[in-house]
Structure 1
Amino acid sequence: MTRIAILASGNGTDCEAVMTAVEQGEIPDATVAVVIADRLAPVLERARRHGVAALLIDRRGCGRASYDSALATALAEHRVDLLVLAGYLSMVDGVTVTTYRNRIINVHPSLIPAFCGHGFYGEHVHQAVLDAGVKLTGVTVHFVDEGTDSGPVILQEAVNVLDTDDAATLAARVLVVEHRLLPQAVALYCSGRLSVQGRQVHIMGEEKK
């Protein structure tokens, strides 16, 4: 049984997509052990409605070292196997990355390596896409390493950018894909189908085209 911790900072719809997928058996042999927020946010109430432990570790109320220590303690207490970052706006510290190497999954609202890295989060990403005039954006689910949005890619899916889009409409369509792709990646991990070799993530059992 894979014990999952979901880390989030905001509304929590990606978090809820994962919790629902676990409840419906779409993510095999898994349980969401805890949802952790780094600020007071609606995601905590979403977790409670699903009967999941909800923990606030307020990043703004303590220093970085204290926050990292409190997070490490919480993960150990809940015997966490896999971390899922679902709209989590804090950086994961290096000790946690090392401890959970290839066991931290993040979702990002663009096709990495485009529109990612420092400062690219939330609607900032979508506005940058529109400002650049590109025709495609999308969603990337990847493992977390010591960099920012730089870990090995698990899944990606493109989303068309429409001439009529603004940041809000584009974000809404991208979010629909996030809600599908993030649980799918978590399910692949929990079913033991992901193999990481350097920068490449191989999906075992996937039919070759």
Structure 2
Amino acid sequence: MSQIVIFASGSGTNAEAIIRYFSNKQVHVSAVFCNNPQAGVIAKAQSLGVAVELFDKSQLTDGDVLQRLHNYHPDLIVLAGFLWMFPTSILKLYPKVVNIHPALLPKFGGKGMYGNHVHQAVLDAGESVTGITIHYVNEHYDEGAIIAQFETSIVDCVTATCIAAKVHDLEQDHFPKVIEQLLTTNS
């Protein structure tokens, strides 16, 4: 059985979708690692029977998180709304780390480009299409190899909230399926 560990910082809607998607499959979400003790993802994961590992910035960089990660033996690490730079020390030992970005990279990526900041930038740029990018994580924000992209028209959107809703639908529909494909092709 494949093991997934999710890193998340926020409400946890993508983490919840992934946990639910794999609940009756040969994949187990072993843990959610979270850097925000107030994050909604904590309650969502716990209610679905998934272990939660809280940590702070020093624990992420001093090896504590890496040590705890070893206990779960992940085949894949998934960043689902995790807002900190992922440490190179973890990437060296676990090169299979994927992230989801709420825009069509390389546009609207990089440090500070997350959540509503991305949607507002897309709106301000007058884009007619946006989407999601699922990509491998490397030592730079949003610059890892692209695995898949899915797009949606936003010609009817006049607010960042409208764009966010369309992007959220794409995330919920596609992220778990792409993760499953990665685990199937890499096993």
1:34 matches 2:31: yes
CA-atom RMSD in angstroms: 1.4
**Per-residue CA distance 1:55-74 (angstroms, 9 max, x = gap):** 11133xxx3xx323221011
8 Å CA contact 2:4–2:29 kept in 1: the answer is yes
Alignment of 1:160-171 (within 5 A): 160-171=153-164
Alignment of 1:45-56 (within 5 A): 45-56=43-54
Secondary structure of 2:36's aligned partner: coil
Residue among 117, 135, 139 paired with 1:142: 135
Unaligned runs of 5+ in 2: none
**Which amino acid letter does the alignment assign opposite residue 119 of structure 2?**
H
What percent identity do the matched residue pairs reach? Answer: 36
8 Å CA contact 1:34–1:53 kept in 2: the answer is yes
Residue among 78, 88, 91 paired with 2:85: 91
TM-score (norm 2): 0.94
Tell me which residue corresponds to 1:201.
none
8 Å CA contact 1:16–1:47 kept in 2: the answer is yes
Separation of aligned partners in 1, 2:34 and 2:162: 26
Secondary structure of 2:90's aligned partner: helix
1:165 is displaced (CA, Å) by 2.7
**Per-residue CA distance 1:155-205 (angstroms, 9 max, x = gap):** 1111111344311121011011011211011101111269xxxxxxxxxxx
Tell me which residue corresponds to 1:203.
none
**Which amino acid letter does the alignment assign opposite residue 51 of structure 1?**
G
Tell me which residue corresponds to 2:42.
44
8 Å CA contact 1:141–1:181 kept in 2: the answer is no
**Which amino acid letter does the alignment assign opposite residue 8 of structure 1?**
A
> Structure 1 residues 161, 95: closer, same or farther in 2, change over 3 A?
same
Alignment of 1:1-209 (within 5 A): 1-25=1-25, 29-40=26-37, 41-59=39-57, 63=58, 66-68=59-61, 69-101=63-95, 103-192=96-185
TM-score (norm 1): 0.84
Tell me which residue corresponds to 1:207.
none
Secondary structure of 2:84's aligned partner: coil
1:134 is displaced (CA, Å) by 1.1
1:120 is displaced (CA, Å) by 0.5
Separation of aligned partners in 2, 1:128 and 1:151: 21
Question: How many equivalent pairs are there?
Answer: 185
Secondary structure of 1:189's aligned partner: helix
**Which amino acid letter does the alignment assign opposite residue 170 of structure 1?**
I
Separation of aligned partners in 1, 2:34 and 2:90: 16
8 Å CA contact 1:37–1:57 kept in 2: the answer is yes
